[in-house]
């Protein structure tokens, strides 16, 4: 079945350091992946996405890496700031007719210490 | 451009009651998906609406139902509320055929 999971439930970093949040997925047919940031009391906020025909995509201070061989996804945040503190979810949007839903993992809580 | 909005923000109901949650999609989007997020968990897909019809459903019982209106806004209805229905209910809008989904702030439902 489909599942998306995260390796680490919590991550604590110092302000200015780089953060890496990891995610494993099990559906080898997945063709699209998204990272969301969710602050307390708010809905998930779109950060960056990547399609399965790519292995890297960069945004502003964020980079997503996709390793299809081991079904692993990571989100790198450069120069982490206190405002980056939140729960981060990876989500997978399946293929083969089921591309209408996102399957989320449990999330990683990122805490940035000043 | 208007983002996704949801109402109400918070809601308290008792077991057995019925509830209706509302969502207005982002301007230009024609598809609405609903998710349930229990405390400490990732969102779980309930169903999606496109062209006023259900376009896919997750593992939720029939007492979870929905509607989509001609202006693409949507409602989620839950009958015979159970304690385990307590959660944050999220609405996400998108353009049919594109995978990107953008979420609203959610409605926090508490069932006592």
State the best of B42, B51, B56 to mutate against chain A, taking most chain A CBs within 10 Å.
B42
pLDDT by position in tens, chain A (length 114): 345 554 458 999 999 999 999 999 888 888 899 999 999 889 999 999 999 999 999 999 999 999 999 999 999 999 999 999 999 999 998 654 545 789 998 799 999 998
Question: Can you give the pLDDT at residue A4?
Answer: 59
Nearest CA of chain A to the CA of B19: how many Å? Answer: 20
Could you give the CA distance from residue A35 to residue A49 in angstroms, rounded to a whole number?
A: 6
* Chain A contact set for B103 (CB, 8 A): 36, 43-46
Of the candidates B108, B49, B98, B40, the one whose C-alpha atom is nearest the C-alpha of residue A108 is: B40
On whether any CB of chain B is under 8 Å from the CB of A62, the answer is no
Cα–Cα distances (Å) from A35 to B14, B37, B89, B99, in that order, read 35, 16, 19, 13
Cα–Cα distances (Å) from B76 to A78, A100, B29, B48, B63, in that order, read 39, 17, 18, 10, 10
* Chain A contact set for B55 (CB, 8 A): 100
Nearest CA of chain A to the CA of B80: how many Å? Answer: 25
Chain B: residue whose CA lies nearest to A90? B42
* Chain B contact set for A49 (CB, 8 A): 99-100
């Amino acid at each position: 079945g489909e599942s998306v999971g995260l390796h680490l439930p919590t991550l604590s970093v110092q302000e200015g350091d780089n953060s890496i949040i990891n995610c494993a997925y099990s559906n080898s047919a997945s063709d699209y992946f998204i990272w969301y940031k969710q602050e307390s009391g708010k809905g998930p906020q779109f950060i960056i996405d990547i399609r399965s025909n790519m292995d890297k995509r960069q945004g502003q201070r964020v980079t997503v890496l996709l390793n299809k061989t081991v079904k692993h996804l990571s989100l790198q945040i450069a120069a982490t700031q206190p405002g980056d503190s939140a729960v981060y979810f990876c989500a997978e949007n399946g293929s083969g007719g089921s591309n209408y839903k996102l399957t989320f993992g449990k999330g990683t809580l990122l805490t940035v210490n000043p | 451009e208007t983002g996704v909005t949801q109402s109400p923000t918070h809601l308290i109901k008792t077991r057995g009651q019925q509830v209706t949650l509302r969502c207005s999609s982002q301007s230009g989007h024609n598809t609405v998906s609903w998710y349930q997020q229990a405390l400490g968990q990732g969102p779980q897909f309930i169903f999606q609406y496109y062209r006023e019809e259900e376009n896919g459903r997750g593992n939720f019982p029939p007492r979870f139902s929905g509607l989509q209106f001609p202006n693409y806004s949507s409602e989620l209805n839950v009958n015979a509320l159970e304690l385990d229905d307590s959660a944050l209910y999220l609405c996400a809008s998108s353009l049919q055929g594109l995978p990107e989904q953008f979420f609203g702030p959610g409605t926090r439902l508490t069932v006592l």
